[in-house]
Chains A and B, each alone.
Chain A
Amino acid sequence: SQELEQSPQSLIVQEGKNLTINCTSSKTLYGLYWYKQKYGEGLIFLMMLQKGGEEKSHEKITAKLDEKKQQSSLHITASQPSHAGIYLCGADSGGYQKVTFGIGTKLQVIP
């Protein structure tokens, strides 16, 4: 079965700083999803990556899927308190029928 490892598990940054969260898969990634979760609330879809080398941006958040398609990174530029939450990566598994999720990276942004 596919496993996703996220690093770091938690992160505290000063407002305005840049940061990167990584998601590494035990198998080739065919569809990679990034979600954000505010504490105790539902997950909000951020971005989906499907092709090796693909890069997408939304506001100050950029996600990339590496060429070998076993790792994705999420980069936040000039972090703000509104970026705080838990970031989860998910990957297609079971013949695109299911999504396997990583444990998540907890981000705190200090004003």
Chain B
Amino acid sequence: DADVTQTPRNRITKTGKRIMLECSQTKGHDRMYWYRQDPGLGLQLIYYSFDVKDINKGEISDGYSVSRQAQAKFSLSLESAIPNQTALYFCATSDSGTGNNEQYFGPGTRLTVT
């Protein structure tokens, strides 16, 4: 079984709809991240969480919100989706106990907003 899972894997939604992307991990890591990837722009950090009560904005948090329901679960919400939020979204985890930022990524969610 995959260590970091994301659901759904693909989603098409309409402008203005609220949508939630979910991430679960079985690695026992305390840190979790949400990124989006766009062609030519690389990976951009949306939000990150160092534990259940510690959530921080990344570079591009506008239009997004997150919830860390448990150490193993971190969900990303688009309150009112817009076409320029069409992208590939990745969840990642890391272990603060290692002293480095080696991150483990989920398979990604391809989101299309029409």
Q: Which residues of A contact B (CB under 8 A)?
A: 31, 33, 35, 40-45, 48, 50, 88, 90, 92, 96-99, 101-104
Interface residues on B, range: 20 to 34
Q: Which residues of B contact A (CB under 8 A)?
A: 4, 40-43, 45, 48, 50, 58, 88, 90, 92, 100-108, 110
Complex: how many Å from CA A94 to CA B32?
16
Q: How far is the CB of B70 from chain A (nearest CB, A)?
A: 21
Inside 8 A of B45's CB, which chain A residues have their CB? 98
User: Do residues A40 and B58 form an inter-chain contact, with CB atoms below 8 A?
Assistant: no
Partner of B107, one of A41, A48, A103: A41
Partner of A43, one of B40, B50, B101, B105: B105
Inside 8 A of B48's CB, which chain A residues have their CB? 97-98
User: Do residues B42 and A92 form an inter-chain contact, with CB atoms below 8 A?
Assistant: no
Partner of A45, one of B41, B88, B102: B102
Inside 8 A of A42's CB, which chain B residues have their CB? 4, 90, 105-108
User: Do residues B100 and A43 form an inter-chain contact, with CB atoms below 8 A?
Assistant: no
